[in-house]
């Protein structure tokens, strides 16, 4: 099976649960893994933005990766997040992190430095030449400060070991340009839950999702309906989730989804600074929504 086929559908950018003392809560992580897999998602992405990777030490990351492999136990593919704005350091991570059981690596575009398009191209080219696993580009200019243009994405798509992209620029024209000209093997997944349905209609292969942490069955069903061209069924589910999309992201991700998961009893509502939990008002609103619509 091609990587594009393996990673079509719903991937979950999984949270990293913490205890009250801010240490990694591995029993809670196991609960979340079992919850999302049992509710039908296609694969897991560990150590992404939603996993709070910037505030997790290297030692913790290594343990989280191994723990995730163990608890997933080959039930679904695992994609590992490895990225940064220091190309040499990122290459070292690709060479030394435990990637034997990874299906691919999701690598965020370099942030803060604001490299040119040629700099972005050369960064990813260097990673692809080193990585033992296929690279998925991750374009999220709202966080990195620099957009990976359609032209640069398509240049990279021609390189060996560049297998796809998580596209989270929110620019529909840019998405359509990539989709129109991509090579057949090149996976294009949405990085925007609220735009996932629309972008699948344009030809995307699925979504790497935040909402699927807390509503995996509903969201993965919506994605499958959309991919199958069953638009009426997909629209019905997508419409039912509109309020959830807003609550998830209005203050911060992953603060929103951690509030949902805490109300569901899966994790503690703890984040590492500089990220903080959602406001009391929003936390209460999320709890009321779940009691009225999910737990009723």
φ/ψ of 80, rounded to 5, equals -110, 130
CA distance 28 to 163: 32
281 included as an active-site residue: no
Cβ burial of 291 (10 Å; 0-12, 13-18, 19+) is exposed
CA distance 224 to 207: 10
CA distance 211 to 35: 13
138 included as an active-site residue: yes
Which ranges constitute the DSSP H helices of the chain? 3-6, 26-38, 58-72, 87-96, 117-130, 141-144, 150-157, 172-181, 196-202, 216-227, 231-240, 242-249, 255-263, 280-293
Among residues 121, 138, 219, 245, which one is catalytic? Answer: 138
Q: Are 204 and 227 in contact (CB under 8 A)?
A: no
What residues have CB less than 8 Å from 76, skipping those under 6 apart? Answer: 37, 41, 42, 43, 44
Output DSSP code: residue 187: E
**Where is 275: in which H helix or E strand?**
none
Among residues 166, 219, 245, 258, which one is catalytic? Answer: 166
CA distance 73 to 70: 5
Helix (H, G, I), strand (E, B) or coil at 198: helix
The Cα diameter of the chain in Å comes to 53
Which residues belong to the active site?
138, 166
């Amino acid at each position: 099976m091609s990587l594009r086929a393996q990673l079509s559908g719903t991937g979950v950018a999984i949270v990293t649960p913490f205890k009250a003392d801010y240490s990694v809560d591995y029993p809670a992580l196991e609960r979340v893994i079992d919850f999302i897999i049992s509710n039908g998602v296609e694969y897991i992405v560990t150590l992404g933005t939603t996993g709070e990777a910037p505030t997790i030490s290297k030692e913790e990351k290594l343990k989280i990766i191994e723990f995730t492999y163990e608890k997933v136990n080959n039930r679904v593919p695992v994609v590992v997040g490895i990225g940064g704005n220091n190309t040499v350091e990122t290459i070292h991570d690709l060479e030394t992190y435990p990637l034997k059981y990874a299906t691919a690596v999701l690598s965020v575009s370099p942030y803060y430095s604001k490299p040119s398009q040629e700099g972005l191209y050369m960064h990813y080219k260097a990673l692809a030449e080193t990585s033992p696993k296929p690279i998925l580009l991750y374009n999220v200019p709202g966080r990195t400060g620099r957009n990976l243009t359609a032209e640069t994405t398509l240049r990279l798509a021609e390189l060996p070991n560049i297998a796809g992209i998580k596209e989270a620029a929110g620019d529909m024209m840019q998405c359509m340009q990539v989709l129109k000209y991509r090579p057949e093997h090149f996976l294009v997944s949405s990085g925007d839950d609220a735009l996932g349905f629309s972008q699948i209609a344009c030809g995307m292969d699925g979504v790497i999702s935040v909402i699927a942490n807390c509503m995996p069955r509903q969201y993965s069903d919506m994605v499958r309906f959309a991919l199958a061209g069953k638009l009426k069924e997909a629209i019905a589910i997508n419409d039912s989730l509109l309020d959830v999309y807003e609550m998830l992201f209005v203050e911060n991700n992953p603060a929103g989804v951690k509030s949902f998961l805490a109300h569901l009893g899966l994790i503690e509502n703890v984040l590492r600074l500089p990220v903080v939990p959602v406001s009391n008002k929003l936390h209460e609103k999320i709890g009321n929504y779940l009691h009225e619509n999910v737990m009723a």
